Structure 1
Amino acid sequence: MIESITDSFIRRTTKSLQRGKQVHRRLPDGGLVYIDRPLPFLILFRHPVEKPDHATADFVKATASYIISSQESTDELRPLVQSIAKAMADEFGAFMIIELLASQDSQAPLFKILGPEKQLPATLKVLKEELASIKVSGTSTTVETASNEKLLQEPLCLMQEEELKKHAILILGVELKPVYLRTGTDKVYPLLQRTLRQKIADAIKKTVFDFVQVQSTHKPLHFQALGRHAVKRVVWRIDKQLTSISDQFRFLLLVTPVNNNEAWEEFRKSKYDKTPTFHYRLMPVDTDKLKRDLYNIPIEKVDDPTLAYLFRDKRHELDKMITMLSDRNKPDFLYSSMQLYGGVDAQLLKVAEGILAAIPEPTRDSDAELIPVPEFAALAEQEIAFLRSQYEGVDSGVDVRDDIVGLIVSKGRLNVGTDAKIPRSRAEALIQHEVGTHILTYYNGKAQPLHQLYVGSPGYEELQEGLAVLSEWLVGGLDQDRMRLLAARVVAVHHLTKGSSFVENFWRLKDKYNFTEETAWDVTMRVHRGGGLTKDAVYLRGLVHLLDYLKQGHELEPLLIGKIRQDYIPIVQELIYRKVLRPVPLKPRYLQDESIKPKLEQLKTGISVFNLL
C-alpha cells in the first residue's frame, strides 16, 4: 500500500496501460486500482467519509476495470482518474466512468441511475432495462433516473463538464439500495450479495458494450468480452485443490460391485427370488477427512463471479458424492443419488414406456456374432490413436479387467470387462460412445487451463451420455435393442425411487417387458448398486434434452469442449469471449465424415427419440 498518489505513480500507471499491460496496485487507506488491460471504461467506488462500506465495494470487484478508494482521498484520486480516462479516451475514441454508490435513503428505489439522459438516451435505456430485469426476492425492483450533477460537483467531482466533453468521456452513477445488508448493521446477506454482484456486473458490461459500439473504436464481439482476461493465482490454486479432492476416488468404480458374476450365479440359483449380496472395493479414502479438506478450500477468495460459481457448484457435487460413498449400501445412498442425478419425471417415464410399447420384444438376433474382447480393445486403441494424431496430449489406453462389468471410462481410460458381450454390429457405435465422446471430452477438457472441464462439472453426465448415445445413432449403430435398454433403465430407476425391491424390478423387466434374464439382471444390478443409483436415467433424459437443444438451432461441436452440462454453455461461451478458455483440439470422427453431414442437418430440423427408432 502506498501513502499517497504521487505524480510518479500516476505516470507509471498510465504508461502501463498505454503499453497494453495490466494494472494492479494498492492505493492509500486500503484502496485498489485494478485494470485487467486497456479498456474503454472504469468502475469506481469511494467509501463514505469515516464509514467504510466493504460490502458495496465488493460489487466493483466483479468487473475488469475498477478503482476502490475513499471520498476523503478524492483530491488525490482526481488526477489519477483523469490521467487514465484521458489516455484511454485517446486510445478508444471515448471512455465511460460508472460510479457505484450506496443509497442512505430507506425510501429510495432499488436502483437510481445518475446520468445525462438527454445526451445519451440509448445507453441509459440499456442500463435501466438491465437493472430493471434483476429480480430480488422480497424486494420490488424499481429503477429511477436522475441527473448526474451530483457527480460533477464538489465534493465528488472528478472531472469538469468541459473536460468530459472535450475528451468524449461519460460519467454515470448507479445508486444501489443496500438490501444486501441487515437493517441498521454492516452484516451481509451473502447469498443475496453474491447474486446481485453477478447481475449488476452483467448489466454494467451490457451498458458499456452499447456505449462503445456507438461511441468508440473498440468493437468487442460480445458484452462478455469486456470481462477479465487475466485470472488471479488464487483461481488456479482453488481449481487445483478441487481437482485433487476429485482425484482421490473413482466414484463409479467404488459403487460398482466387484462380485457381479458370483452374485448373478447366487441370484439364478435362488430362482430369481432372493436379493443378491454385492461386495464393493475397499474405501480408499476417509470420507470425513475428505469433507473437511473440501470445505477448507477458500472459494470465497475468488472475486470473479463466474469462476466462483463454477467452484461452488463443484464443491456441492463433491459433497454429495462423498456423502454417497459414506452411505454406500445404506438407505440414505438413494436420497443423495436423487439429489445428484435426479429421478424420473412424468414426461421422461412416458417416453421410456412409449419406447418399450413400440418395441415390445427384442429385435437383435440372439445368435448375433460377438466381437472378442481383445479385438474390441484393439479397435478402441486404434480410435484413441486417431485422437492422439489430432492432439499429442492424449495419454489414454484400454485396460481389460476381470473386476469390471461391461465398459467404463474412468480418468480418461477405457476399462473393458473380460466377460463383456459386445455384438460385432455394435462395436463401432460403442467405440464412438466411449472413445469418441467420453475420452474425447476428457482430453478436450484437459487441454483447457481450467481443470473442472475434464474433471466434470456437476451434472455433466446427462449431456455426456446424451452426446454418447447420439454418436451411436450418427455412426449407424443405435439399434432398437439399445433403445429398449435405455428405456428399461429409466423404468427401473422410476420404480426404484417408488420403493421397488431388486427382485420386483428384475421380474418386471423380465415378465412385463420381455427382457432376457441376463439383461434384466444387468439393468437391475446397475440401478440398485450401492444402495440405489439413479444415474442410469440420464442416458435417455440426456438424449431427449440434447435433441431438443439441437432442434433450437444450436451446434453440436461446442458441447464437446469438456465434461459440462447443457446450462453451462453460456458460462463456457463467456470464458471463451474472455479468452480464459482455448479452442478445442479434438473433433470426433463423425464430425469429420462427409457421409454423416445429412444426419447432422436432420437433427437441426428437429427429430424426436422415436424418429431414431
Structure 2
Amino acid sequence: MIESITDSFIKKITRSLKRGKQVHRRLPQGGLLYIDRPLPFLVLFRHPAGEPDHPTADFLKANASYIIARQEQTEELRPLVQSIARAMADEFGAFMIIELTAAPDNPAEAPLFKVLGPEKHLPTTTETIAKELQSIKLTRIHTSVEVESNEPLLQEPLCLMPEEDLKKHSVLMMGLQLKPIYRNATTGKIYPLLLRTLREKVANAIKKTVFDFVSVQTTHHPVHFQALGRQSVNRVVWRIDKQLTSISDQFRFLLLVTPVNNNEAWAEFRKAKYNKPPTFHYRLMPIDADHLKRKLYNISIEKVDDPTLGYLFRDKRHELDKMLTMLSDRNTPDFLYSSMQLYGTVTDQLLKVAEGILATIPEPERSGKPDIIPVPEFVAQAEREIAFLKEQYPDLDSGVDVRDDVVGLIVSKGRLNVGTDARIPRHRAEALIQHEVGTHILTYFNGKAQPLHQLYVGSPGYEELQEGLAVLSEWLVGGLDQDRMRILAARVVAVYHLTKGCSFVDNFWRLKDEYHFDDETAWNVAMRVHRGGGLTKDAVYLRGLVHLLNYLKEGNELEPLLIGKIRQDYIPIVQELIYRNVLRPMPIKPRYLLDSSIRPKLEQLKTGISVFNLL
C-alpha cells in the first residue's frame, strides 16, 4: 500500500495500461485501484468523510474497472483519474466514468436510484441506465428511478475532471446514487442477502449501460455486455473451487445409496410372493458426514467478490449439504424429505404426461427370448466409443469397470461401471452407449477441461438436464423404443406414489397390475425409486426430456448444453463466463453432432416435437 498518490505512481499505472496490462494496486487509507485490462470505462466510489461506507464500496468489486478511495483524498485522486481517462480515451476514442454514492440519511421519500447525467450530451446513455435500473425487481421493494443533472459532479470540492477536459478528451461523467436499503438506518446493521442481490443487479445495469456507450462511442466493440466483466479470476476463487471439489470427491453418492444385494433381495422378494418388502444392504459409509459439513461451512465463499462465481459456489455448497444429510439419513424415512428438496417431486403436469405415455403405448408383446448382448461384447463397444472421444481430447482418462456390486449401468467419476449380470438388449446397446458414454462421460471430461472444477463435479440439479440429454441421444441414434419410454414413465408414476406414502410392495403391484409390467421390470423400477429410503431422482429422466424438448423448440442450440454437468438455467451463467474468457470452448463433441445423417433429426427438434412424437 502506498502512502500517497504520487506523480511517479500515476505514471506507472498509465504506462501499464498503455502496455495492455492489468492494474491492481492498494491506495492510501485502504483504497483500491483495480483495472482488469485496458477498458473504456471506470467505476468510482469515494467513502464519505468520517465513517467509511464499506457495504456501498463493495458494489464496485463486481466490475472490471474501478477505484475505491476517500473524499478527503480528492486532490490526490484527481490527477490519477484524469491520467487514466485521457490514456484510455486516446486508446478507445472515448471514455466513461460512473461515480457511485449512497443517499444520505436514507429518507423515506428518496428514490431507490438517482442518475446524474449530462442534460444535453448523450441522452441515450442516461436513458439506458435509467431503463436498466427501473427493470430491477426486488421482493416487497418498489423500484423508483430519478434522473437529474450531473452538474454536482463537475463542481468543487468533489470535481475530478473539469468540464472542458471532459469535452476535449470525449469523456462522459455520470453519477449513480443508491438509497441504502441494504442497511438498517437506525442500527447500521447490514442485510447481507439484499446487499448481495442488489449488488449483482446494479453491476449488470452498469455493464449494459457501458456496453451501450462503448458500442457507439468507442473503437471497442464487445460481443455482449457480459464481455465487459472481469476476465482475471483471483486466487481465492480457485482455492474455493478446489475446496468444494475436494469435498465432493470424497464420496460417490449414487453408489452409496444403491443396494449391493440386489439379486439376493430380488430372490427373497420372489420367495415371499411379492408381499413382503425386501431388505436392502448398502456399502459401508466411507465418510463422516458431520465432519464434512463442518469443512463445507468453513469455506469462506463470502470472500468471492464476483457475483456470478459467488452464486455458483453457494449453490454447490447448498447441494453438498443436502447430499450429506441424505447419506446421514440413509435407510430412514428422513432420506425421502431431503431427496424431494434435492431432486424435486412430480408435478400434476408431469404425472399426466407419464400416465399418457403408459396409456398410449401398448404393453409390449413378449415373443421368444430377447437378444441379449454379452457383457464382454458390450464393454468392448463402450471402450471403442471412449476411444472415439479420446481422439478429440487426449487427456480423457476413462474406461469401463465390470462389477458384481452394480446393477445395470452407472457412470461415476467419469468411468462406466457395468454390472456383471447386466441384461442389455442388443438393439439398445448403441443407445445406452450414447446415453452413458456420449453424454455422461463426455460432459464429465468437457467439464474437466475447464479451469472451473464445478463443471465436471456437477452444478446443483444438473441431473435433470443430463438425463434429458442422455435420453434424447438415445432417440437421435435410433434406440429409444417403446419399452424404454414406458419405463421412464413408470419411474415418474412410482416416484409420485412414493411421495404420497406408497410402500414398496404397493408400488410394485401397481406397476404389475395397473400398468402390466413384467415382474423383473416392476422390481427394478420399484427398487430404484425406494432405494436409500426413497429416491425421487428417477423422475428427472422424463422431466428433463420434456423440458429439453421445450428448450430446443424455442430455437436454442443443443451443443452449449454439453460443456459440462450443468442445469438448464445455468446457460446464461456459462455464457457469461465464456464471454469473460473464464471458460474455454468445449473440446469434445458426441458422435451424433458429427454425423451428417442425424442432422435432419436435430433440425426436426427445432420445429417443435413432444415426447409422444419421439416414437
Aligned equivalents of 1:154 and 1:493: distance in 2?
69
Aligned equivalents of 1:545 and 1:364: distance in 2?
32
1:413 Cα shift? 0.1
Aligned equivalents of 1:292 and 1:261: distance in 2?
37
The DSSP-based 3-state class of the residue aligned with 1:69 is strand
String of CA shifts for 1:287-345, please: whole Å, max 9, x gaps: 00000000000000000000000000000000000000000011110000000000000
For residues 346-495 of structure 1, the aligned pairs below 5 Å read 346-363=348-365, 365=367, 367-495=369-497
Please say if 1:178 is aligned against 2:202. Answer: no
CA RMSD after TM alignment: 0.7
1:117 Cα shift? 3.5
In structure 2, the partner of 1:302 is 304
Alignment match of 2:152 (pick from 130, 150, 153): 150
For 1:83, give the aligned amino acid: S
| TM-score, structure 2 as length reference | 0.99
Please say if 1:509 is aligned against 2:511. Answer: yes
In structure 2, the partner of 1:258 is 260
| Residues 364, 301 of structure 1: alpha-carbon distance in 2 compared, 3 angstrom cutoff | farther
Paired residues, number: 613
Aligned equivalents of 1:289 and 1:111: distance in 2?
45
Decide which moves more: 182-191 or 55-64.
182-191
The answer as to whether partners of 1:360 and 1:514 remain within 8 angstroms in 2 is no
Aligned equivalents of 1:26 and 1:592: distance in 2?
51
1:228 Cα shift? 0.5
For 1:490, give the aligned amino acid: V
Aligned equivalents of 2:198 and 2:281: distance in 1?
48
Aligned equivalents of 1:563 and 1:366: distance in 2?
40
1:137 Cα shift? 2.0
The DSSP-based 3-state class of the residue aligned with 2:396 is coil
Aligned equivalents of 1:492 and 1:4: distance in 2?
70
In structure 1, the partner of 2:46 is 46
For 1:198, give the aligned amino acid: E
The DSSP-based 3-state class of the residue aligned with 2:497 is helix
For residues 179-328 of structure 1, the aligned pairs below 5 Å read 179-328=181-330
String of CA shifts for 1:135-162, please: whole Å, max 9, x gaps: 1222210000001111111121000000
Runs of 4+ in 1 over 6 A off after TM superposition: none
Aligned equivalents of 1:536 and 1:179: distance in 2?
43
- Percent pairwise identity: 80
1:365 Cα shift? 4.9
1:173 Cα shift? 0.3
For 1:362, give the aligned amino acid: P
The DSSP-based 3-state class of the residue aligned with 1:415 is strand
1:122 Cα shift? 1.0
1:96 Cα shift? 0.3
In structure 1, the partner of 2:577 is 575
The answer as to whether partners of 1:114 and 1:145 remain within 8 angstroms in 2 is yes
1:119 Cα shift? 1.5
For residues 542-581 of structure 1, the aligned pairs below 5 Å read 542-581=544-583
Aligned equivalents of 1:79 and 1:183: distance in 2?
35
Gaps of 5+ in 2: none
The DSSP-based 3-state class of the residue aligned with 1:86 is helix
Aligned equivalents of 1:59 and 1:294: distance in 2?
26
Aligned equivalents of 2:494 and 2:221: distance in 1?
53
| TM-score, structure 1 as length reference | 0.99
In structure 2, the partner of 1:68 is 68
Aligned equivalents of 2:280 and 2:368: distance in 1?
28
For 1:459, give the aligned amino acid: G
The DSSP-based 3-state class of the residue aligned with 2:373 is coil
The answer as to whether partners of 1:116 and 1:147 remain within 8 angstroms in 2 is yes
| Residues 363, 14 of structure 1: alpha-carbon distance in 2 compared, 3 angstrom cutoff | farther
Aligned equivalents of 1:473 and 1:490: distance in 2?
19
Aligned equivalents of 1:102 and 1:366: distance in 2?
78
In structure 2, the partner of 1:3 is 3
Aligned equivalents of 1:135 and 1:594: distance in 2?
45
For 2:349, give the aligned amino acid: Q
| Residues 122, 365 of structure 1: alpha-carbon distance in 2 compared, 3 angstrom cutoff | farther
1:364 Cα shift? 6.4
Please say if 1:93 is aligned against 2:93. Answer: yes
1:360 Cα shift? 3.5
For 1:221, give the aligned amino acid: V
